[in-house]
Amino acid sequence: MRLEKLAKVLHKKKGDTRVRSEQVIRLGELSLGCVCELLVNHPYFNYSRNIVQMLTPYLDHPRESVRAAVAGCYTNVFKEDKRGEITLDIVRRINHLVKSRSHTVHQEVISVLLTLRIKDVNLDKEKEAEIKQKKFMTHKQKLLAMSKRERKRSKKLEELEKELLETKAEENKETKQKNLTEVMKVVFTIYFRILKKAPSSKVLSAALEGLAKFAHCINLDFFADLVSVLDGLMEEGSLRSREKLHCVQTVFAILSGQGEVLNIDPSRFYTHLYNNMFYIHAGKTHDDARIVLRILEVVLIQRRKKMTQQRLLAFTKRLSILATHLLHNGAMGALSVVRRVMQLGMGADVLLDVDSSLGQGIYNPELEEPEHCNAASSALWELTLLQRHYHPSVRMLAQQIATNDNNKITHMPPEIAKLDSLQLFEHFDPSLVVFKPAIPPPQKNISGVVKAKEDSSFIQELEKSVSETSTQPSLSSLHSEVLRNIKESSKRKET
């Protein structure tokens, strides 16, 4: 294929010392982009497997633009694939690439697997859409356009076509489910092999993120071993804060699903989560707040009955402290979790009492273990600061929590009040440089009238003071001169 030959200039073989010009490289990137478009638009034609075999090595190309082009192509294919066949071919090729290069690949090779439609696939909905798409004419149009004999014949054909479509849909459903099962097996093979053989590689973060996302699909037999491996990685101390959060997210995703039947003590993961929350701030790590909110929705809401009172109060206190370190969308998400904990009536409202004699001992926020930090001896002082926040929605939510007004939403729009913590984090995301709610533009005319009234009242007060000080010649002359200068300047502004 001509495009394949042109794209080969991007693939430099071992021992090749030729220097290629920028024009030749751009031509190769253009050819590669054309091949990617061909695969996205026609994923089921005869040579699609050959194209996948050709494109996959470019996921590990030295040039970032080449890797991004192939990763974007595979992402679109994963989203549009209705059979699961081409997705399975791509995942198998990625597995072969990672294994052949001993896990020393770029992060895009593993991160592209995060876009797989394993979690949100809905086969029943796709079946209904496929059947509905075949109906071109409405019942009324058919009656108007057909005779009695044609309507009778059309009715029989519709019944037969419906049976055929249902049979085809069932076959497609079984085939797709089988393909997705194979895809999951290959994906988890990649992730587990990275954890076992390359725990210090640069793709470990993407593998942990993938495990956290697809943890609900892991076989029950692997749960205990996986939790043990993740705990060992965190205890080594070589992981970064984001990677540790992914480990914690994976463990609690396992324990909140089928893993509830397992006898696993998650107390050490509570400690890891509690200690890593302070590494998140309004700078580079702000995006990690999304992971923390996702974990706390499981820990403080779904698994609330399995938490001790002291641990619950410690996480609520630390979450309110975290809200003061984040941007307004992160603060909204954190306060939303605090409000939900208060609404569920789990005894967290004791933190609204400023009397420190209720608890035992003194609150120690630097203690690593949340169970023994004596959070009950403290209060949510951070709500006072957040009620003076620059964002109006943060002020409203902080005021609502501080007044314990959980029955009615104080000045909070109903469409905002219904959102959970993650939805609030996305809704108020400032990365698009859009401030919500929108700031109204200044009203120039009204402000000008107000300023003119203020100037006139000021002049009247000066005139009054001049008349009162007329007995003192020096002061009277001074006031008259000041008044004259002010009147002249105001006239110049009006003209």
Higher-pLDDT residue of 170, 18: 18
The answer for residues whose C-beta is within 8 angstroms of residue 208's C-beta and 6 or more apart is 243, 246, 247, 250
Does 323 share its domain with 403? Answer: yes
Q: Is the pLDDT of residue 179 over 70?
A: yes
Between 127 and 116, where is the model more confident? 116
Check residue 124 and give its pLDDT.
46
Residue 206 shares a structural domain with residue 268:
no
- Half-sphere exposure in the Cβ direction for 326 (13 Å, CA): 32
- Please report whether residue 244 resides in a domain: yes
Mean pLDDT value across residues 388-411:
80
Tell me which of 292 and 457 has the higher pLDDT: 292
Banded model confidence at residue 407, pLDDT cuts 50, 70, 90: low
402 and 292 in a common domain: yes
Domain tally, the chain: 2
11 vs 90, more confident: 90
pLDDT in tens, 74-101: 999 999 888 888 999 999 999 999 999 9
In this structure, are 192 and 324 located in the same domain? no
In this structure, the answer to whether residues 196 and 227 fall within a common structural domain is: no
pLDDT band at 162 (very low <50, low <70, confident <90, very high): low
Per-residue pLDDT band for 15 (boundaries 50, 70, 90) equals low
| 187 and 260 fall within a common domain | no
Q: What is the mean pLDDT of the chain?
A: 80
Q: What does the pLDDT look like over 190-203, one tens digit per residue?
A: 999 998 888 888 88
pLDDT in tens, 250-287: 888 888 776 676 777 788 899 999 999 989 999 899 99
Confidence of residue 291 (pLDDT cuts 50, 70, 90): very high
Whether residue 304 is found in the same domain as residue 190: no
Which of the pair, 140 or 247, is modelled with greater confidence? 247
Contact between 363 and 381 under an 8 Å Cβ cutoff? The reply is no
277's CB contacts (< 8 A; 6+ apart) are 292, 318, 319, 322
Residue 455 lies in a domain: no
Alpha-carbon radius of gyration of the chain: 33
225 in the same domain as 309: yes
- pLDDT on residue 169: 47
The residue range of the domain holding 436 is 218-441
**Higher-confidence residue: 355 or 451?**
355
For the stretch 302-310, contacts whose Cβ atoms lie closer than 8 Å and that sit 24 or more positions apart, written own/partner, are 302/256, 303/252, 303/255, 303/256, 304/341, 304/344, 304/346, 308/371, 309/346, 309/347, 309/376, 310/370, 310/371, 310/372, 310/373, 310/374, 310/375, 310/376
Residue 346 φ then ψ, to 5°: -105, 25
Q: Among residues of the chain, what percentage have pLDDT more than 70? A: 77
Q: Is the pTM of this model over 0.85?
A: no
Q: What per-residue confidence (pLDDT) applies to 311?
A: 92
Residue 334, pLDDT > 90, answer: yes
pLDDT of residue 468: 58
